[in-house]
A = this chain, B = another copy of it.
Amino acid sequence: MAGKSSQGADFFAPMRFEATIEDCIVEGELPRDLRGTFYRSCADRRFPAMYADDTPYNSDGAVDMFRFYDGNVDFKSRYVRTPRYLAERAAHKVLFGRYRNRLTSDPSVRNVSHNTANTTPIIHGGRLFSMKEESLPTAMDPHTLETVGEWDFNGTLKTVSFTAHPKQDPDTGEMIAFAYEATGDCSDDLAVLIFDREGNLTRDIWFKTPVVSMMHDMAITDRHVILPTTAMVTSRERLERGQLHWAYDPDCPAYVAIVPRDGTSKDVRWFKGTPDQAMLVHTTNARTEGNKVILEAPVAQENFHQYFPRVDGTKSDPSRYYPTLRRWTFDLDSDKDTWEEEILFDGLKVTSFSRMDDRYITKPFRYSYMMMNDPTLPINRDFADTLAVRVSNAWFRFDHQTGGIAKYSPGDAHGISEPQFIPRHSGAAEGDGYLVGVVNNFRAMRSELVLVDAMNIEAGAIAKVIMPFRLHMQVHGYWASDETLPF
């Protein structure tokens, strides 16, 4: 790779190395009874992008793990050995082209999997998967992070894609997933996929979408699966023109599919909203009450992915990037294809990254946790404007019952990744536990993992794990207690 040193900007720059650190340096005290592993799926390009207008979402996947035990933390980072990674490694250069457009890749690899495995880690059935929504999950050893390979669930999975946001039902232990563009690029096939506790595919429900669009997340209730479309659209013509997979269509309305978990394709109901409701990228939680399905989620009024253009080439409106928290109620007793909307929270620059206490998936719940851009912190005034990408600088806790809010800031000139909730112990009440996540300390040029009391986030970090370098950019994380995954 002689002569090439442009590797992405600022804190999006890749690490391009793998590390093992045992007995990490800790400031403060880690709870000695905290036993488990925090996984992160990260984006870390081995080679500079083939095209300057590409997105960091097209970076090679890498998985980090922080293993907590007896007041200690061990760290490990490894690239995911995807077919794409291995092909470029062997060639010592970039071969794969623009984001999700294999027509722009080197002819030698157009039929090789373009999977980056860079979005979300999950432990299910004792396996670690790192997932990217247009491809199969990639199985990895949850202890060594060695790559096992793309996983088709012993030949039972018939989709070519798999969401990066499957949900685990806390009561049944099932994993419920879906696939869009499920039979190939630009196809309008959707499939809901249901796996038992051990990871065996038990049902798939196939149907069609009214719009081929990014469908990044989903929600489940004890009886239903909820699949929102977005206004990020694609077409075979775009791909043949050599463009990135997605463009934002400001005229595209929101659609939501409600699928009974025990139903068939005939039972799928589609609801239709407005274009202002079509940027629901991550869900918070959902439940079914009687014949009403209730979904809560942050929803933006505009495409906030700065790497994806508008279909008509016009400029987007940054004032509409920041989501409001909304509650949508779908009445299954009604024949109407619309829903009721309630705005739960507005007025701060929260992001679409929304997490919760996952033991309350499908249930009435109280707290959600988000990243936000807090304009009262100097970083946004003095520093963030000089960065190539927007940086979140605080965590935000929202009380869905009272509307109460709380903030945690790691301090001036720090960026922050998505929080991960950890229950204090398996029997703890909702929200009683910790938020854990990675912070970038720009002045010290290093990353730190912070642990915050989730019931008292404004009090600051209980403990910080000091890394000797800056970590690569995380997308999503996962917590596996040692009850879920013994070590």
Contact = CB atoms under 8 A, between A and B. Distances in A.
A24 B469 CA distance: 17
Interface stretch (A26-34, A184-192, A259-267): A26-34
Nearest to A72: B92
Contact of A30 (B2, B47, B463, B468): B2
Contacts of A15: 468
A17 B92 contact: no
A413 interface: no
A428 interface: no
Nearest to A4: B25
Contacts of A468: 15-17, 469
Interface string A48-80: 000000000000000000000011100100000
B2 A29 contact: yes
A18 B21 contact: yes
A15 B469 CA distance: 9
A23 B70 contact: no
Contact of A17 (B3, B19, B89): B19
Contacts of A16: 21, 23-25, 468
Nearest to A6: B25
A89 B22 contact: yes
B17 A1 contact: no
A70 B7 CA distance: 22
A72 B90 CA distance: 12
A83 B87 CA distance: 39
Contact of A1 (B20, B25, B47, B75): B25
B2 A71 contact: yes
B2 A26 contact: yes
**A interface, by DSSP: helix, strand, loop or mixed?**
loop
Contacts of A29: 2-3
Contact of A2 (B7, B19, B28): B28
Interface in A429-487: 445, 463, 466, 468-469
Interface residues of A, number: 35
Nearest to A27: B5
Contacts of A5: 25, 27, 466
Given A30-B2, A71-B2, A20 B23 contact: no
Contact of A89 (B19, B23, B27, B75): B23
A14 to B, nearest CB: 9
A46 B22 contact: yes
Contacts of A4: 25
Nearest to A23: B1
B23 A72 contact: no
A115 B22 CA distance: 20
A30 B469 CA distance: 27
Top 9 A-B pairs, shortest CB-CB distance: A17-B21, A18-B20, A17-B19, A2-B26, A19-B19, A469-B469, A1-B23, A2-B29, A5-B25
29 contacts: A1-B23, A1-B24, A1-B25, A2-B26, A2-B27, A2-B28, A2-B71, A3-B27, A3-B28, A4-B25, A5-B25, A5-B27, A5-B466, A15-B468, A16-B21, A16-B24, A16-B25, A17-B19, A17-B20, A17-B21, A18-B19, A18-B20, A19-B19, A19-B20, A22-B89, A23-B46, A23-B47, A445-B445, A468-B469
Given A16-B24, A18-B20, 19 more contacts: A1-B23, A1-B25, A2-B26, A2-B27, A2-B29, A3-B27, A5-B466, A16-B21, A16-B25, A16-B468, A17-B20, A17-B75, A17-B468, A19-B20, A22-B89, A23-B47, A23-B92, A72-B92, A468-B469
